[in-house]
Structure 1
Amino acid sequence: MIAALRFWPARRWLIAALVALGSTLVIAIPTALIATPIFGREIPPTWWAWPALLVSSILIGLLVASYVADPARVPTDRATTRGGWAGSLLTFFAVGCPVCNKLVLLALGTTGALTWFEPVQPFLQLLAVVVLAWALRTRLRGELACRIRPEEVHV
């Protein structure tokens, strides 16, 4: 995986950094990890919320950047795209306030959110990191697997 990253041009690294920053903001603002007058939290963030969000954001940035540059070189795989979306969504639910999430409240109620959902949040984050890492690893392995462009193949 690291070998594939060594060949990345500066443009891809810039996109990875921008997407990582953007995904951090897109998740941190509505989950009220960043205080705003629009969103608030009933329960303070856990000690692991920020480190977990930063790890996920870096993986999201690298994954998105893996789709940039030469699309003919790496085929797009729907599974890795879905993995990126799933990992991002899992991170959103994992770092968010358990009683501030309307979907969780509708499904479980306040008591259920605190009793059932809050203890599961660290596992959701772990699953998010695993899914994002798998998707990134799959994309990067594809970059190393075949360095021949289709137009270079003479049959």
Structure 2
Amino acid sequence: MHETRTPLDETDRRLLAALQRDSQITNDALGSQLNLSPSQAGRRRQRLEAQGYVLGYGARLDPEALDLAVQAFVQVQLSTHGPEQGKSVTRLIETRREIVSAWTLTGEADYLLRVYCEDLGALNRLIHEVLLPHPAVARVQSQIVMDQPKRDTGLPV
């Protein structure tokens, strides 16, 4: 459980922005950027982590270097909308490595899935052998990403 969140000041926001740019930044470098001592920067970082502003750290990997040539967004529409159907689809989504993120939506589609596959055949198998056969799924629509002019960025802090 996280500590009670205190309101962010401008230095906290600058610290969070710096962590989004480089999660491995040292307290020395962080302190230098924020005009704080390394220990002050470290304490602020620890407080923001403890209060749940920072959810975790990770590396951004190059999909092409990992032979993941196809990125797609897949919309899934359910046939029925009971709690069990939603739980069942969520369990399915959680088991599939190629589904890297998922959202529930308002509108025609119930889920939006972001997927990375090694090729179009793998995307086809995901749609036709995994998603469409699921008893709660009525319809699937996919959009293949041609280019990504703006890469994923950090949150606007």
TM-score by length of 1: 0.26
Which structure is richer in relative contact order (CA contacts within 8 A, separation 6 or more)? Answer: 1
Name the structure where strand makes up a greater proportion of residues. 2
Highest Rg: 1 or 2? 2
